[in-house]
Structure 1
Amino acid sequence: MPPIDPPVPSACTGVVLAAGAGTRYGKPKALAEDGAWLRAAITALRDGGCAPVIVLLGATGPDPAAVHLPPETEWRWVADWATGLSATVRAGLRAAAEAGTRYVAFLPVDTPDIGADVVARVLAAARASESGLARGVFSDTPGHPAVIENKHWDAISAEAVGDAGAGSYLGASQDMVCVTCDDLATGNDRDFPVVGAR
């Protein structure tokens, strides 16, 4: 990554991972429930303490009107989204570097019950830790959001290949702070449509 200005202390860029095609779901999840999941993810990051919040789009095309983004929402089109999650994660890290923040918080579009209270809890844990790494944990299973301090970004970018995003790096980090959030959300990924949902 190119050199950037010194990061804003404690500031965090929120990144909504919404570039995938949603093959199992049947359509890009950025379009799920008429965009309700996407709006929920944006709100969770924004109200949870992230600024800016940036949506990463891919399968829906480079026109943000296709997903009905809320007004003044920042977005980036990931041109190589089809190569896998790694492309989207790298795009998110670049966006955070451009924003000049010290942290980035990744939240997938398909975890709609994760709200601002979860984001705020995980972000606070990352800021309080020496590692600068924290992620939400649900039913003893690592989930999202994942909050990552900028000292890890180059290594994650180098390791991310194909459909492997930041998961392998985070999983191997002995100093990752696991933040239990069972009292706030299920953290479940929604991979398949609910019968009767639009």
Structure 2
Amino acid sequence: MTSVAGLVLAAGEGRRYGMPKALVVHRGRLFVESTVDRLRAAGCTRIVVVAGAAADEVRRADLGDADVVENLDWATGMGSSLRRGIEALQETALQETALQGEDAVAVMTVDLPGVTAEAIARVLEHASTKALAAATYDGRRGHPVLIGREHWQGVHEVAQGDSGARAYLKRHEVTEVACDDVADGHDVDRPEDLPG
């Protein structure tokens, strides 16, 4: 059976929002909590949260058995958080047999309250060690992005600034999974962007 980790990128300071978006409360849960909840509900076997600007507060959040790792370089952009998350997954893989490690990781940014567990599960259906897949909304790629274990090192090498895995994905074939019918892929940059 395929095992997929969930990776939550939650390290930014949320300059445009006015506070770290990991700590935004929406429908009674912090963004970071609800993102972990949805990844777990979709079937992720392990969840890693990369914290930064609000690391202490994120550690105190209700995240169940999710692992929180800190990105000390969070101010350089999302790419460093993606690298830190992959490092955490690789560290665990070294301690486990190949049969116990995750085959792929589903990457989510913390500011996507409209991405449902159903959309995440739909992308997870494509999981394998060789997988590269992404949800699409109105024909545009969004999250989650599914990265098979065979691609982790390549993504780690190119993830820079705020582009994350974009440069790597441009050079490889990516399975696009339409999720418009079950989710809204818009990110929340400012308080006025919050859905009702």
Report the TM-score when normalising by structure 2.
0.86
Aligned twin of 2:145? 146
- Assess if the C-alpha contact under 8 Å between 2:23 and 2:58 holds in 1: no
Match of 1:166 in 2: 165
Give yes or no for contact 2:78–2:162 (8 Å, CA) kept in 1.
yes
Contact 1:126–1:177, Cα closer than 8 Å, also in 2: no
Counterpart Cα distance in 1 of 2:43 and 2:14: 28
Provide the rounded CA distance (Å) in 2 between the counterparts of 1:152 and 1:190: 28
Give, in whole Å, the separation in 1 of the partners of 2:35 and 2:163: 21
Instruction: Provide the residue aligned with 1:180 in structure 2.
Output: 178
In structure 2, do the counterparts of structure 1 residues 77 and 63 end up closer, same or farther at CA, with 3 Å as the change threshold? farther
Name the residue aligned to 2:72. Answer: 79
Distance 1:169 1:105 in 2: 15
Deviation for aligned residue 1:80 = 1.2
**2:98 is equivalent to residue 98 of structure 1:** no
Alignment partner of 2:126: what SS? helix
1:126 aligns with 2:127: yes
Root-mean-square deviation (CA, aligned residues, Å) is 2.1
Q: CA deviation at 1:73?
A: 3.0
Alignment of 1:25 with 2:17, yes or no, is yes
TM-score by length of 1: 0.85
Return 5+ residue gaps in structure 2 as ranges.
93-100
Determine what percentage of the aligned residue pairs are the same residue: 36
The secondary structure found in structure 1 opposite 2:146 is strand
Q: What is the CA–CA distance in structure 1 between the aligned matches of 2:179 and 2:38, rounded to whole Å?
A: 14
Aligned AA (1:42): V
Structure 2 equivalent of residue 38 of structure 1: 32
Corresponding residue pairs, total: 185
Name the SS for the 1:97 alignment partner. Answer: helix
CA 1:72 to 1:169, structure 2 compared with 1: closer, same or farther past 3 Å?
same
Shift of 1:27: 0.7
Superposed displacement of residue 101, structure 1: 1.1
Q: Which moved more, 1:15-24 or 1:29-38?
A: 29-38
